[in-house]
Amino acid sequence: MIHFKSTLTAATALCLLTAGVARAQDPEFIVFDWAGYEDPEFFTAYIEAHGMAPTYAFFGDEEEAFQKLRSGFQADAAHPCSQSVPKWIEAGLLAPLDTSRIDRWDEIEPAFRDIEAFSKDGEYFFVPMDWGNTAVTYNTELLSEEDVASLQAFADPAHSGRVSLPDNVDDMYALGFLATGVRDWSNVTDEQFEAASTFLRAAHQNVRAYWSDGASLAQLMQSGEVYLAWAWNETFSTMSAEGYPIAMKRDTAEGSSSWVCGYSHLANAPGSDDRFYDFINAWLEPATAEYLVAWWGYGHSNATAMATMSEEDLAAVGLETSENLRAGTLWQGPLPAEMRERMIAEFELIKAGF
């Protein structure tokens, strides 16, 4: 049985953990990551081996990370998500992996590990690590389940100023496509893209704030300022564990979305290859998988470790599955490069009010 967190808030925990990492950073290994992933519980075996945590640098979204790396920024490991990996491979940013040095490679969920777009010329470039869902998340004291039965709620003027959406192009277009009847974005038409963009413009009119991380969204929802969000598992898991009236609805009329992210070895890595594989092996430990699920509400790519967790525990953080949920899911898989560039450009216009 997984023991879920109780009284320590995510924001407080993050401050403590960040402070701890700041005091002992490994100068020979730099990780370019999303804020929050410097949590030392993700790589305890690395700390045990080297006496300190990696050095961290952070990005706000993958396009920012891509541009910074292309401009010459150096790090050893980076944390892209699936839809960006082909672009990063083609740009020469990633080094091929020596999978013989990844101790639990065979335990990784094959549906993630063996995606064709993650390899080139017979070599792998991406280690899937964390996965989750993006779905309707709402305050149950201010909205009923009927109020959020459809994704059209995000564009309903009745919710003006009470909505928060992610400052993330992939999650936003997952919402836009789902809301307009598309559950597979691998080959969308111009008409489908325009329809999704039109929906996102309508939803933009109701947005109080675009959130960039789970902690900022939790603050908005805890205050009651926002009562409806398109959010990751983390928000539901954290807030429900702390007793806030919140629910995550993945079975709307149009469905919800799922994603997978992971780590890659950067081609211009200045540090130690040994440390990179120590880091990856620490992340793939069963203890890391249990911590990721219990404290963050995300799934782990180690299928062997995930199989030991009960359906009850997975449901408590929004990771349950069924044929109905799978059928209603837009998988944020790798995208054609041209389409993703269109999404990035259009989303910037939408946020600016155009």
The per-residue pLDDT string of the chain (354 residues; one tens digit each, 9 = 90 and over) reads: 343 333 333 333 443 343 333 346 899 999 999 988 999 999 999 999 999 999 999 998 899 999 999 999 999 999 999 989 999 999 999 999 999 999 999 999 999 999 999 999 999 999 999 999 999 999 999 999 999 999 999 999 999 999 999 999 999 999 999 999 999 999 999 999 999 999 999 999 999 999 988 889 999 999 999 999 999 988 998 899 899 999 999 999 999 999 999 999 999 999 999 999 999 999 999 999 999 999 998 999 999 999 999 988 888 888 887 677 778 899 998 888 889 899 999 999 999 999
Supply the pTM of this predicted model.
0.84
10-131+260-316 is classed in which CATH architecture?
Answer: 3-Layer(aba) Sandwich (3.40)
End-to-end CA distance of the chain: 49
- For the chain, what's the residue count? 354
| 8 A C-beta contact, residue 18 and residue 53 | no
The DSSP annotation for 233-271 comes to HHHHHHHHHTT--EEEE--SSS-EEEEEEEEEEBTT--S
Let me know if the fold of 10-131+260-316 is the same as that of 132-258+318-351: yes
Query: Strands 163-166, 207-211: parallel, antiparallel or unpaired by DSSP?
Result: parallel
Domain ranges of the chain: 10-131+260-316, 132-258+318-351
The CATH class, in words, for 132-258+318-351 is alpha beta
Tokens 């594989």 sit on residue: 277
CA 209 – CA 225 distance, rounded (Å): 10
